[in-house]
Amino acid sequence: MQRISYDLHIHSCLSPCGSDESTPGNIVGMAVVAGLDAIAVTDHNSCLNLPAVMSLAEAYGITAVPGMELTTSEEVHVLCYFRSLDDAMDFSGYVAEHSMYIENRPEFFGEQLIMDADDNITGKEKRLLHTASQISFDDVFKLLKGFHGLMVPAHINKSTTSVLSNLGMLPDDSEFTAVEIQTPDKIQELRERFPYLQRCHILTSSDAHYLSDIQDPVHFLHVEENSPSGILDSLSSYL
């Protein structure tokens, strides 16, 4: 087993709430400077900047886990991680097909920039990515299995867009094996309130919308291999 530092919740300039300076190159560069071993760019409801991120991460010798922050039909945010870029891109297409088309208004929500590995703008996503998909929270776990993916409910103690804020509970038939918590000082309290969490791996990432938000190497995972599959393997079984 090896101990790796991570930040597995980072938004690029594709997310309407992400800074235009959060380009694939700047994100990977910042992660390298910070000394992180693994990152995940998890834009809202899309993976269109992942090809550039994955290419740059490989070039700079850092692990990038393909990811997305899905908004369910209940407006619960769920981090979705994948073993391969192909699986992530296939899921991105599935989400686009199962979301209502609402055109982005950049003057209100910001640009949604698609970039290549040289940080050139190759397009702008016209579909507003902040909206809820037609995918229910209850269906995410099994749906992701079909894409070789892992479900991680995002920032579960956040006052909005979390499973606890929007559903008010952890469903009794939950199957996920990991969750994200905003601050590690809340872990014990949440595990006492929700015994299901005693079985789950706990992640604490930055949810970075600006480059300066990307965290230093302060949170760690133990994995057999520092790769997308190795990281997903470590999070895929109960404690």
SS3 186: helix
The model's pTM: 0.98
Q: Token digits for 33?
A: 């400077």
Do the beta carbons of residue 48 and residue 14 sit within 8 Å? yes
**Close Cβ partners of 107 (under 8 Å, ≥ 6 residues apart):** none
* Class of the CATH-defined domain 2-235: alpha beta
Long-range pairs, 85-88, Cβ under 8 A, ≥24: 85/50, 85/51, 85/54, 87/147, 87/148, 87/149, 88/47, 88/50, 88/147, 88/149
- Half-sphere exposure for 31 (CA within 13 Å, toward CB): 33
Do the beta carbons of residue 19 and residue 13 sit within 8 Å? yes
- pLDDT tens, position by position, for the chain (239 residues)? 999 999 999 999 999 999 999 999 999 999 999 999 999 999 999 999 999 999 999 999 999 999 999 999 999 999 999 999 999 999 999 999 999 999 999 999 999 999 999 999 999 999 999 999 999 999 999 999 999 999 999 999 999 999 999 999 998 889 999 999 998 898 999 999 999 999 999 999 999 999 999 999 999 999 999 999 999 999 999 99
